[in-house]
Chain A
Amino acid sequence: MSKTTTDSELPPATEAAAEEAAERLTTAPVESDGPTGIGVLGWLRWMWRQLTSMRVALILLFLLSLAAIPGSLIPQNGQNQFKVETWKTQHTTVAPVYEKLQLFDVYSSVWFSAIYILLFVSLAGCIVPRTWQFVGVLRARPPAAPRNLTRMPVYAAWRTDADAETVNAAAHALLRRRRFRANLAGGSVAAEKGYLREVGNLVFHLSLFALLGGFAWASLASGTGGKLMVGGEGYSNTITQLDDFTGSRFYGTEDLDPFYLKLESFKSSFQTKGDQIGAAREFTANVEYYAGSDASKLAKGTIEVNHPLEIGGSKVYLIGHGYAPVITVKNAAGEVVYTGATPFLPQDGNLTSTGVVKVSDYGDKDGKKTQMGFSGFFLPTAPLSFEGTGPISLFPGDAAPELVLNAFAGDLGTDSGLPQNVYQLNQKNLTQLQQDGQPAKARLKPGQTWELPDGYGTVTFERYTQWASFNISHRPGNEIALAGGVLAILGLVGSLFVQRRRIWVRAVALPGGGTLVELAGLARSESAKIAEELAELAVDLQDDAPATDEDPATDEDPADPGSPADPGDAAGNPVDVPESDESDEASAPSDPAVPADQNSKE
């Protein structure tokens, strides 16, 4: 027998503790409500212990999922400010209350943040000691065999004539071969396997910090801009040429990635029949671009939904599209005072679009300074008559394009120096042109010209092109979050699919001669495999510790001892079996045959 001593010489209390340790297969914190001392320190320690307990982690997780719900049902500022405003005007009584409760900014609200910060504090407070504990487990030997192996959930025993020391040594070698961490001491072998479970669990929980870090970095150092371009137009990525820009702490207007981008053309197609008529089928923006300021590096590319273009640190996403009628306005003298494409903004799924044209240098027949404004609709597929429906498009494709215009004359207000919305007319100082006592109005097909009343000149709807709008996004930290995500999955796989388990083997010489071999195993309750594993091990071990005949009288001749029909034997080698014994139940050592204590672990 091996010389090292363990459990047999420990005082009873320590032994009980050792037995308990032997039966714990996780570094999960133990629930304890016991006193932790008195005074402030005691209280603090109690609170910390509560915060880092599994129970509180569970409650915080539950709260987190509850807290995420309102944000999905109430419009959120971060996603659609317009919807938030509409909602507020529709619910004037509750809106102020909601505002106070930060229900329009759920995911950045104080209470949502509080929950996840507490959760992460709890997580840190849980992970750090668990990691230490686990390092300790790895450095220590597998916990020694409990004195009473029959108490273990899985148990096997038999008598053999082989010498106890040989059996123990064989078991030790066997377990090693099965890649257990095994230790032979005090006349028994203690072995453990499946540490990847704990590793996976720790990796998973740690990866949540990586995810959080990626999130935080992205929100501190990212920025997005918007740009709408009509086919043929280009722009340099500077704050003056962007339509709008939202920066963050570490990415301001001066940090914009320098590049040039030009929309060559935009192509769209739509479903033309069936019950999904009008559904979009293809959007492609053909572009030219170069990063930095070297125009000789001009390259061609395409941007589609799902296929952004990466240019010099920013990604350009296609987010919208529409039509831009090309209009030429001539004054009374027949001089061209305006010509160009104006983007009209879609109002519905069939791309009924509205827009305005502002002609600030119109002049008039007397040479006096006047300005003109036109507002109207572009209908890619106009109905025959607007009766009852008003000007609406029937289909998003350009099957029957028409432009509907109203004309205004007067002061556009553009000279006031105040910024103006290019998609709206300020009608304060404008008068609508009249014809036959009615507001003047025209429906134009491409190529048609409208003779304005009162000798104001002409408007020609030349043709139309398409525009596309882009989101220019600079977002670092994606890699960190992605790495966190991948680690989370790997960690989970380890944590949920690997079983951590212990096996003990003890062979003792019996007073009456012979040796009693006992095997016991412990795994988490979800595993049914431990019984099979133990059985396989027992089979293998019997090569070195053959069971003795207890009752040769009832012995039957095994037909074929070497029969390889043995699915349980991982090694695949036919088991060398001694004489059979049909009545081993009755004659097995009385102690182990009947489990003394069937209370389960955990």
Chain B
Amino acid sequence: MHLASAVDPQLADLSNKLIYSAMAVYLIAMFCYMFEWTFGSKGAVAVRSIEQAGLAETVAAAETRAAKKVTVTVASAGGGTTTLTRTALAGEGATVVTSGRGADEEDGPGAAGSSEKADLSGRIAVSLTVLGAMLHAGGVLTRGLSVSRWPWGNMYEFSCAFALSMTVAYIGLLAAKKKARWLGLPVTLAVLLTLGVAVSVLYTESEQLVPALHSYWLAIHVSTAIVCGGAMYAAFIGTLLYLGKDTFDRRIAAGLTTGPLGTSASIWRRLPAASTLDKFSYRINAMVFPLWTFTIIAGAIWAEAAWGKYWEWDPKETWSFITWVAYACYLHARATAGWKGRKAAYLAVLAFACYLFNYYGVNIFVTGKHSYAGI
């Protein structure tokens, strides 16, 4: 008998402290996002979005400087207002008119509305989210360094990495200058929930791996699963908000004044348009689907090396398959007349529920060949 290779207890300890600090920072960030939503409701709800305002400015600038700018106009399907959503530089004298779905409705101005105080709060929240993500990344990194391996060998580590992929996705969207600050509150909430479960229920000390996980497929298969999970979570948030906003629009059309479940109309008004939310989640899901396919195939290759059969209907495999088919179903629904919109969104929610069940449900309640040390 010989001893397993060493663990650096100091680094492992540092990792725990970093994760806790990250959680504290995320918590403050979440409060700031909440302030943003609260203060934002005080200011008059601006119907024109920031982007529109920006465009109007551009147009104005174009007019005064007579720059060679062409504005791409999008006419709303309702036939009423024509809103400007895109500028494209073109030769002068050209008018590019776009009409069509996708921009029928106007995007809300964001959580801050027109309130400067709220906007400040939102900016602080974003900075805090970035800080939290840095601490969080440090926690994941030191955890891996403490045992000189990939830091996703058990459910605790997987959860930490999974939550990190979510914040990184959110920050990535902001960095790409996408209007995504409305995601801040639900994302920090989801991250805190995931980390909370991780540190309280799933926690396990930093240790070496069981032999079943001694494989470079751990790096490939599990890391893509983590990225997929984070992205699907973000898409899921988008889908839920889409359903809410769509209900809100219907309620308004029916003469009601509040959102679903009696929520304040001002919250829904500040969110992007239903179609924008829908497109947001579709894009992410469509982008993630090939990666998820890859994750399953990589898992099958690993299973072939570990157990001799690439597919054995092990509960984990089965639920990955169910998740995959559910997302395929959703993508099909989007391409099928009569299934777009809400029906497809329900499928997307169901598909993500399958992913979550595959993670928490199967790992904890169903025994199979997939083992995670410590849980």
A interface residues with partner B (beta carbon < 8 Å) = 26, 28, 31, 54-55, 57-58, 61-62, 64-65, 68-69, 71-73, 76, 78-79, 106-107, 150, 153-159, 215, 224, 268-272, 274-276, 279-283, 304-308, 315, 317, 319, 397-399, 471, 473, 475, 478, 481-482, 485-486, 488-489, 492-493, 496-497, 525-526, 528, 531-532, 534-536, 538-539, 542-543, 546-550, 556-559, 561, 563, 565-569, 575-582, 584-585, 588, 592-595, 598-602
Q: Which of B79-116 contact A (CB under 8 A)?
A: 79, 86, 88-102
CB <8 Å contact, A580 and B313: no
- With A156-B96, A538-B70 given, is the CB distance from A317 to B329 under 8 Å? no
A489 contacts across to B, CB distance below 8 A: 290, 293-294, 297
Can you offer 5 A-B residue contacts whose CB atoms are under 8 A?
A78-B312, A317-B306, A473-B309, A535-B96, A559-B65
- Given known pairs A153-B99, A153-B100, A578-B92, the reply for A64 and B325 (CB within 8 Å) is yes
Q: Are B101 and A525 in contact (CB under 8 A)?
A: yes
Assess the B1–A269 pair: CB atoms within 8 A. Answer: yes
CB of A280 within 8 A of CB of B308, answer no
Does B366 have its Cβ within 8 Å of any Cβ on chain A?
Answer: yes
Question: B305 contacts A308, CB within 8 Å?
Answer: yes
Q: In the complex the two chains form, is A575's CB within 8 Å of B99's CB? A: no
> Among A279, A492, A585, A600, which residue has its beta carbon within 8 angstroms of that of B290?
A492
Q: Which chain B positions have C-beta within 8 A of A546?
A: 91, 93
Q: How far is the CA of A73 from the CA of B361 in the complex (A)?
A: 11
Is B44 part of the binding interface, using a Cβ–Cβ cutoff of 8 Å? Answer: no
A496 adjacent to B289 (CB under 8 Å): yes
B1 cross-chain contacts in A, Cβ below 8 A: 268-270, 397-399
Knowing A155-B97, A276-B204 touch, does A485 contact B297 (C-beta < 8 A)?
yes
B94 touches A158 (CB 8 A): yes
Given A493-B290, A557-B66: A528 and B102 interface contact (C-beta under 8 Å): yes
Q: Is B131 an interface residue (CB 8 A)?
A: no
- The residue of chain B having its C-beta at the shortest distance from the C-beta of A65 within the complex is B325
A600 contacts B101, C-beta separation under 8 Å: yes
CA distance A561 to B65 in the complex (A): 11
CA distance A79 to B210 in the complex (A): 22
Q: A489-B294, A492-B289, A567-B89 are in contact. Are A31 and B315 (CB under 8 A)?
A: no
Question: Which residue in chain B gives the minimum CB-CB distance to A156?
Answer: B96
Q: When the two chains form their complex, are residues A154 and B98 in contact, meaning their CB atoms are under 8 A apart? A: yes
Known A61-B332, A398-B1, A496-B290; contact A535-B212, beta-carbon cutoff 8 A? no
User: Please, how many angstroms separate the alpha-carbon atoms of A307 and B308 in the complex?
Assistant: 10
**A492 CB → nearest B CB, Å:** 4
Contact between A482 and B2, CB atoms less than 8 A apart: no
Beta-carbon contact of B88 and A568 below 8 Å = yes
Let me know if A593 and B211 touch, CB within 8 A. no
Decide: B68 and A563 in contact? CB cutoff 8 A.
Answer: yes
Pick out which of these stretches binds chain A: B184-192, B259-267, B334-342: B334-342
User: Which residues of chain A come closer than 8 Å to B287, judged between CB atoms?
Assistant: 496-497
Q: Which residues of B sit under 8 angstroms from A272, Cβ to Cβ?
A: 3-4
Instruction: Please pick, from B297, B311, B319, B332, the residue contacting A58 in the complex, using a CB distance under 8 A.
Output: B332
User: Are A153 and B98 CB-contacts (below 8 A) given A65-B354, A68-B321, A107-B313?
Assistant: yes
Give the complex CA separation of A157 and B97 in angstroms: 8
Contacts of B304 in A (CB 8 A): 478
Question: When A68-B325, A79-B314, A496-B286 are in contact, do A593 and B95 touch as well, CB less than 8 Å?
Answer: yes
B319-332 interface bits toward A, Cβ cutoff 8 Å, 1 = contact, 0 = none: 10110011011011
Contact call B93/A547, Cβ cutoff below 8 A: yes
Tell me whether A305 and B205 are in contact (CB under 8 A).
no
Q: Knowing A569-B89, A582-B63, say if A269 contacts B4 (CB, 8 Å).
A: yes
With A72-B318, A496-B286, A531-B96 as known contacts, state yes or no: A308 contacts B77, CB within 8 Å.
no
* CB-contact partner of B93 in A76, A307, A471, A581, under 8 A: A581
- B14 lies within 8 A of chain A by Cβ: no
Q: Tell me if A276 and B205 are in contact (CB < 8 A).
A: yes
Output the residue of B97, B308, B337 with the most chain A CB within 10 A: B97
Does B89 lie within 8 Å of A271, measured CB to CB? no
Is B215 part of the contact surface with A, judged by Cβ < 8 Å? Answer: yes
Q: What is the bound-complex CA distance between A567 and B68, given in angstroms?
A: 12
Contact between A525 and B308, CB atoms less than 8 A apart: no
Alpha-carbon distance between A76 and B367 when the two chains are bound, in angstroms: 12
Q: B33 at interface (Cβ–Cβ under 8 A)?
A: no
B236 within 8 Å of A (CB atoms):
no
Distance, CA A557 to CA B215, complexed state (A): 67
| Chain A neighbourhood of B374, CB < 8 A | 275-276, 279
- Residues from chain B with Cβ under 8 Å of A271 in the complex: 4, 207-208
Most buried by A among B205, B282, B290, B374: B290
Q: Which of A68, A304, A595 contacts B75 (CB 8 A)?
A: A595
A305-B4 in contact given A65-B325, A535-B96, A558-B66 (Cβ < 8 Å):
no
Interface residues on B, range: 35 or more
A274 touches B205 (CB 8 A): yes
A64–B300 Cα distance when bound, in Å, is 19
Q: List residues of chain A with CB within 8 A of the CB of B28.
A: none
Choose one: B66, B94, B322; the contact of A582 (CB below 8 Å). Answer: B66
Do A58 and B101 touch across chains, with their CB atoms under 8 A apart? no
Residues from chain A with Cβ under 8 Å of B332 in the complex: 54, 57-58, 61
Chain A residues in 8 Å Cβ range of B329: 58, 61-62, 65
In contact, A306 and B215 (Cβ under 8 angstroms): yes
Bound-state CA distance A346–B373 (Å) is: 19
The residue from B97, B302, B313 contacting A156, defined by CB atoms under 8 A apart: B97
Within the complex, which residue of A31, A268, A282, A531 is in contact with B72, where a contact is CB–CB below 8 Å?
A531
For the complex of A and B, list the 9 residue pairs with the smallest distance between their C-beta atoms, beginning with the closest.
Answer: A547-B93, A535-B88, A153-B100, A542-B91, A600-B101, A281-B4, A556-B66, A65-B325, A72-B318
* B98-A531 in contact (CB<8A): yes
> Which of A64, A275, A580 has the most CB atoms of chain B within a 10 A radius of its CB?
A580
Contacts A58-B339, A76-B313, A593-B97 given; does A539 touch B77 at CB 8 Å: no
For A31, the chain B residues whose CB sits under 8 A away are 336-338
Minimum CB distance partner of B102 in chain A: A525
Residue B67 CB within 8 A of the other chain = yes
Chain A residues within an 8 Å CB radius of B311: 215
Contact with A along B280-294 (1 / 0, CB 8 A): 001100110110011
Identify which of residues 210-243 in chain B touch chain A, using a CB-to-CB cut-off of 8 Å: 210-212, 214-215, 217
Which residue on chain B has the smallest CB distance to residue A269?
B2
B308→A224 contact, CB < 8 A: yes
B20 in the interface, Cβ–Cβ < 8 Å? no
Q: Separation in Å of the B56 CB from the closest CB of chain A?
A: 14
Q: How far is the CA of A498 from the CA of B99 in the complex (A)?
A: 22
Q: How far is the CB of B264 from chain A (nearest CB, A)?
A: 30
Interface centre among A398, A550, A588, A598 (most CB of B within 10 A): A598
The answer to whether B67 and A306 have CB atoms under 8 Å apart is no
Contact between chains at B313 and A71 (CB < 8 Å): yes
Partner of A280, one of B211, B300, B313: B211
Among A306, A493, A497, A569, the one with the most B-chain Cβ atoms within 10 Å of its Cβ is A306
Interface centre among B93, B210, B339, by most chain A C-beta atoms within 10 angstroms, is: B93
Assess A559 versus B66: contact at CB under 8 Å? Given A61-B328, A156-B97, A496-B286.
yes
- Interface residue from B90, B95, B338 paired with A588 (Cβ < 8 Å): B95
CA distance A272 to B90 in the complex (A): 70
Docked Cα-Cα span, A493 to B326, in Å, equals 18
Across-interface contacts of A482 in B (CB, < 8 A): 297, 301
CA distance A50 to B90 in the complex (A): 48
Chain B residues, Cβ within 8 Å of A526: 279, 282-283, 286
Are A577 and B210 in contact, with the CB atoms below 8 A? no
Residue of A nearest to B76 (CB): A598
A282 lies within 8 A of B4 (CB):
yes
Question: Bound complex: CA of A215 vs CA of B304, how far in Å?
Answer: 13
Contact call A473/B308, Cβ cutoff below 8 A: yes
The answer to whether B204 touches A275 (Cβ under 8 A) is: yes
Q: Which residue of A lies closest to B334 (CB)?
A: A526
